[in-house]
Amino acid sequence: MSGRTLPELGPRGEGWVVLQTLLFGAIVGCGYTGVFWPSGAESYLVVLGILIVVAGALLLLLGVAALGRSFTALPRPRRTGKLRQHGIYRLVRHPVYGGVLVLALGWSLADAPLALVPTALLAALFDLKSRREEAWLVDRYPEYPAYRERTPHRFIPFAY
């Protein structure tokens, strides 16, 4: 499915943000269900989850810092924004989305196994949202297709 055929969900893509916010709430809410990992695996998964949370936070912060004033949760780029191709954006096109996904995965492993379900749904949503966003980026920045070709990883450097 191409980004041009995906719904805009508002003039700047506000509906995409509403959907992701609902999934964020579901991910956090899973931590309060009383469902935990089996005790034999729990300590290992807590440590692994914390390490993954740190990696996700780093990826997220690098993405936000590189965007500077161009940062917005909305997928349609700001009129005054600039296409970023330096820093973490040399390695990955959507590090903020990747950072959030890695954070959610780490939280799920460390504390909330049920959160893996809304985390998977969030990954699917971010995949669709990023395709819609990239269609807008192509319209806004003529150099975006060349950047996308040079930067094949969408969310996680060297992985996806």
What fold characterizes domain 43-74+82-160?
Four Helix Bundle (Hemerythrin (Met), subunit A) (1.20.120)
pLDDT in tens, the chain (160 residues): 666 789 999 999 999 999 999 999 999 999 999 899 998 899 999 999 999 999 999 999 999 999 998 899 999 998 888 999 999 999 999 999 999 999 999 999 999 999 999 999 999 999 999 999 999 999 999 999 999 999 999 999 989 8
- Cα dist from 133 to 16, 42, 108, whole Å: 10, 38, 27
Residue 128's H or E segment, with its range, is: helix 116-140
Rounded to two decimals, the pTM is: 0.94
* Integer angstrom CA distances of residue 7 from 3, 14, 135: 8, 11, 11
Q: Where are the domains of the chain?
A: 43-74+82-160
Residues 129-151: b if buried by 16+ CB within 10 A, e if exposed: bbbbbbbbbbeebeebeebeeeb
Distance CA 11, CA 3 (A): 15
End-to-end CA distance of the chain: 18
